[in-house]
Structure 1
Amino acid sequence: MPAPLNADSIRRAPKVLLHDHLDGGLRPQTVLELADEVGYRDLPAGDPEALGRWFRQAADSGSLVRYLETFAHTVAVMQRPEAVSRVSRECALDLAADGVVYAEVRMAPELLTAQGTPIEEAVEAILDGFAKGSAEAAGAGTPITVGTLLCAMRQADRWDEVADLVVRHRDDGVVGFDLAGPEIGFPPDRHPSAIALLDRAGAHRTVHAGEAAGVDSIVAALDGAHAERLGHGVRIADEVAEDGTLGPVAQRVLDAQVPLEVAPSSNVQTGAYPSLAAHPVGRLHRLGFAVTVNTDNRLMSGVSVTSELTDVARTCGWGWDDVQTVTERALAAAFLPEEERARLLADVVRPGYAALRA
């Protein structure tokens, strides 16, 4: 008899996560302790439970602007390398405890420099924390591999620096480049020198697109920044008619199997869709788009990879085939060496699902 498709079983399933923000996944207790260490007095609550609740409620306003305001607090307590390393270590441990076997976690290192930390030190602290957390997780019997994605902020002018860091640290755990921040008004080819540097180095990239803006943003990410994956990308559904007829951009994304890093709870929180039931993740998956399921910001959305997959499966009527498919799609889209991808698929992912379905 297959295991029931519920949170307990999904927690045991080997999972792959492609879209998770480091500054959106802190433990509330850690936020409080780091704030106390640096004398940060602007937190809206003084105990972990109340603080976690505040983050979820503030992010649940239906406004992307209000959602992004919550990051002022997490970023404020991450301005020292030792704080960044702690947050990264705990991120790796938390994901491993949730059954994630491979994760790509992203952070804009420029946001960690406000108090004078050099941007290179910020990157090194992220990598140090992930290495420590991964080693501890392996020792606890929950092995995880964590790759780092470095974000450049669309509205800022540090793209070249970030692209250079991606290339220089590619052998230390940095697996690719991302563009984050406001889609509207800040095109993904605004700094062509950064894109050219990534192109010359053959560096991987994913780009936030098709979240707050529509299909034009998706085209710009693919053509302007040469994105291999789309961060969110759900607005491709704007070109999917009720009868399944596709517009030209949707057809292109489907034909090319461009991976969509979909984060349904986050999209509902920011007002992109009114509810999980109204979210197009199920429809896009059913039509054969390369849908993956992600957390985006675990603290702000109050989610884990397990809870997100459980809620999507329940809402969309998915079975184990669907959960395994989105997991294998995510692994196929991961910025991993081919031999490591093949090892995870053959030795971890498929045996894990076979055991649950036996």
Structure 2
Amino acid sequence: MNTSQSEHLLPGGAISIEALPKISLHDHLDGGLRPQTVIELADAIGIDVPTTDAAALGTWFADQANSGSLVEYLKTFDVTTSVMQTVEGLERVAREFVQDLAADGVIYGEVRWAPEQHLARGLSLDQVVEAVQQGIEAGIDDVFSSGREIRVGQLVTAMRHADRGLEIAELAVRHRDRGVVGFDIAGAELGFPAGNHRAAFDYLAKEYFPVTVHAGEADGIDSIRGALFDGRALRLGHGVRLAEDVTIEREDDDNSYVTLGPVARWVRDRQITLELSPSSNLQTGAIAAWGDELIDHPFDLLYQLGFRVTVNTDNRLMSNTTISKELGLLSDAFGYDVDDFEQFQQNAVAAAFLPLEEREELAEDIADAYAEV
């Protein structure tokens, strides 16, 4: 299990954030590898990596990702996906992924990844999904053996710049009773609207299969609109640029007076979930319109206005982060306390792609744990 994570404490320094139960909705499998695992898997299949020192490789990923551009940020995935082309590689990465989630206090997680990116060594789409599921289940068993519990579901993702959306949607539905809980589209957002995959979204709607869509990260309101009305998205992957549809009319010492545009109002009033990833949003330039520091992130504005915000990592390796670290950063920036942390987790529970009864159980577990803090 990865033991390199440092502890993050609640304001006042008395309580470990890692010890609090958390929900993870937006976390990419190919963005969560351990550097040492990248090195070992690359060596096993004869692939060169930038360095064979684990600490230095972790730094390389973080430096490369800290570009201010989603396109440049995505190039780091060429390295991670290259070592995830075999059953052994996929199983190991998925198993360790679950272990690392549990080490951060996650009790329910959804892991998203694009099967079409893992076929270079001859595996089929079904074989790669099965390999990841085997790894997830092994990781869950490891966590259980250590005296804890975690539940994890797959979000099968189609690459928005490719033309395999319907095929990947059918793959997701084919595995809906074998670990897959939802569908996503990801990759380069600008110039590749959700409407390009309308056939896939139509199919998923007919199958009553839940959808989240990356939108409002590298493109603005039109992209979000497409995710909602072409994709029928129940959640927005990032969605941070929804704040472009929020106009601050005036501010005084205690209050901001705002007007919501039609898309922002629809998202808030329908409680469509925002899968916000603060550190990643800084790295990719998603919040460039507001600034280049975490205090500039519109997270708090959206939270105060009643949007269903959640806290996520996006890519733990590239952002050198965990959910606990993200919560600590947000607390430092906006003064959040344990009650806010609980609200973020309850927001995520409500949005999880799980049956109602399981969401209610998770909500009770979260409430009970935070009541003891």
Measure how far apart 1:319 and its partner are.
1.5
2:130 matches 1:112: no
2:34 matches 1:27: yes
1:13 touches 1:353 (CA, 8 Å); kept in 2? Answer: yes
Give the Cα–Cα distance (whole angstroms) in 2 for the partners of residues 302 and 64 of structure 1.
16
Segments of 4+ moved more than 6 angstroms? none
Shifted more, 238-247 versus 201-210: the winner is 238-247
Counterpart of 2:5? Answer: none
Counterpart of 1:257? Answer: 271
Measure how far apart 1:193 and its partner are.
2.3
The AA in structure 2 aligned to 1:235 is R
Counterpart of 1:203? Answer: 209
Q: How well do the aligned residues superpose, as a CA RMSD in angstroms?
A: 1.4
2:366 matches 1:349: yes
Please give the secondary structure, in 2, of the residue aligned with 1:190.
Answer: helix
Measure how far apart 1:192 and its partner are.
2.7
Change over 3 Å in CA distance of 1:84–1:202 after alignment to 2 = same
Give the Cα–Cα distance (whole angstroms) in 2 for the partners of residues 7 and 95 of structure 1.
22
2:286 matches 1:280: no
2:25 touches 2:352 (CA, 8 Å); kept in 1? Answer: yes
Give the Cα–Cα distance (whole angstroms) in 2 for the partners of residues 58 and 170 of structure 1.
35
Measure how far apart 1:191 and its partner are.
3.1
Alignment partner of 1:300 out of 309, 318, 329: 318
2:240 touches 2:286 (CA, 8 Å); kept in 1? Answer: no
Change over 3 Å in CA distance of 1:5–1:130 after alignment to 2 = farther
Please give the secondary structure, in 2, of the residue aligned with 1:129.
Answer: helix
Shifted more, 152-161 versus 260-269: the winner is 152-161
Counterpart of 2:180? Answer: 174
Please give the secondary structure, in 2, of the residue aligned with 1:103.
Answer: strand
Give the Cα–Cα distance (whole angstroms) in 2 for the partners of residues 3 and 24 of structure 1.
26
Give the Cα–Cα distance (whole angstroms) in 2 for the partners of residues 5 and 319 of structure 1.
10
Alignment partner of 1:50 out of 44, 52, 56: 56
Give the Cα–Cα distance (whole angstroms) in 2 for the partners of residues 256 and 114 of structure 1.
41
Which 5+ residue runs of structure 2 have no aligned equivalent?
1-8, 249-256
**TM-score of the pair, normalised by structure 2:** 0.92
The AA in structure 2 aligned to 1:321 is D
Change over 3 Å in CA distance of 1:121–1:252 after alignment to 2 = same
Please give the secondary structure, in 2, of the residue aligned with 1:18.
Answer: strand
**TM-score of the pair, normalised by structure 1:** 0.96
Measure how far apart 1:6 and its partner are.
5.2
Alignment partner of 1:18 out of 22, 25, 31: 25
Q: Deviations over 1:97-150 (max 9, x none)?
A: 110000001000000012221111010011111111011101112211001000
Matches within 5 A, 1:13-92: 13-41=20-48, 43-92=49-98
The AA in structure 1 aligned to 2:319 is S
Give the Cα–Cα distance (whole angstroms) in 2 for the partners of residues 300 and 7 of structure 1.
29
1:26 touches 1:91 (CA, 8 Å); kept in 2? Answer: yes
The AA in structure 2 aligned to 1:84 is L
Q: Between the two proteins, what is the percent identity of the paired residues?
A: 52
The structure whose residues are more often helix, as a share, is: 1
Higher relative contact order (CA 8 A, sep 6+): 1
Change over 3 Å in CA distance of 1:216–1:337 after alignment to 2 = same
State how many pairs are aligned. 353
1:26 touches 1:299 (CA, 8 Å); kept in 2? Answer: yes
Matches within 5 A, 1:150-161: 150-161=156-167
Please give the secondary structure, in 2, of the residue aligned with 1:67.
Answer: helix
Matches within 5 A, 1:101-250: 101-242=107-248, 243-250=257-264
Give the Cα–Cα distance (whole angstroms) in 1 for the partners of residues 359 and 265 of structure 2.
27
Give the Cα–Cα distance (whole angstroms) in 2 for the partners of residues 284 and 199 of structure 1.
28
2:282 matches 1:268: yes
Give the Cα–Cα distance (whole angstroms) in 2 for the partners of residues 344 and 330 of structure 1.
10
Measure how far apart 1:74 and its partner are.
0.2
Measure how far apart 1:189 and its partner are.
2.2
Q: Deviations over 1:22-66 (max 9, x none)?
A: 00000000000000000001x111110000000001101212121
Give the Cα–Cα distance (whole angstroms) in 2 for the partners of residues 167 and 6 of structure 1.
45
Please give the secondary structure, in 2, of the residue aligned with 1:146.
Answer: strand
